[in-house]
Amino acid sequence: MIQNAIPEEGKVILINKELHWTSFDVVKKIRNLLRIKKVGHAGTLDPLATGLLIVCIGKKTKQINQFMNWEKEYSGTLVIGKTTPSIDLETEINSEKSIEHIGKDDVISTSKKFIGKLMQTPPIYSALKKDGEPLYKKARKGEKVIVHPREVESREFEITNIDFPEIHFRLVCSKGFYVRSLVNDFGKDLGVGAYMSKLERTRIGGFKLEDALTIHEFRKSIEPPNS
């Protein structure tokens, strides 16, 4: 019954990925729920990030690369004055610096440097592969990996609230952009370091988070009535 409900041309499902789920966890869950093998996602979200994930079913998987090329929008929170190796809360804090000399004007002026085309080095703790293995696996094993910078684009970077040491932001960016790398570079530019404490993807192209379902909501939507 579930497979018959999938159109011949396939289907695009918008999922609101929850905290600690990997993008592959979502794909695996939907694959099991629908009992169909041809399922994929259009753009990885880190386990500690939440928000919009495009999942493609059947023939719609042919459009994954198209969706991945679309711009993304995020809202997030960074913490200045402390750093972690993973640039988020996956790893423990490994350095601390005073932020008493940092003012709101410093934050705003620094944010303006991160709009436009940027050379960005992807974080070691990422799903980017080198020699066929994700970088995060190499990082967890303590291997040293050289990652080369790449050109990306920050189309909008807005500071939405400042409550030191937390800085809240909204970002619109291109394909291949690593928000944690922006946070890392932002902290370096301020001279005190930073890590990301929260990230939510709110839009991919014309698809919006407000139209997405959690996995629980999706499961309920495909269950037969009175089940």
Is the CB of residue 122 less than 8 Å from the CB of residue 147? yes
> What does the alpha-carbon distance between residue 169 and residue 198 come to, in Å, rounded to a whole number?
10
Q: Active-site residue 163, yes or no?
A: no
Q: Which residues pair with 167 in a beta bridge?
A: 78, 162
Catalytic residue among 25, 46, 106, 189: 46
Residues sharing a CB contact under 8 Å with residue 4, sequence separation 6 or more, in sequence order:
none
Is the CB of residue 17 less than 8 Å from the CB of residue 59? no
| Alpha helical stretches, state H, the chain | 23-34, 64-68, 104-111, 135-140, 179-190, 215-222
Exposure of 119 by Cβ count < 10 A (0-12 exposed, 13-18 middle, 19+ buried)? exposed
> What does the alpha-carbon distance between residue 131 and residue 140 come to, in Å, rounded to a whole number?
16
Q: Which residues pair with 77 in a beta bridge?
A: 168, 198
Task: Specify the residue for token string 């500690």.
Answer: 48
CA angle at 75 for the pair 74 and 78, rounded to the nearest 5°: 115
Residue 56 DSSP label: E
Active-site residues: which are they? 46
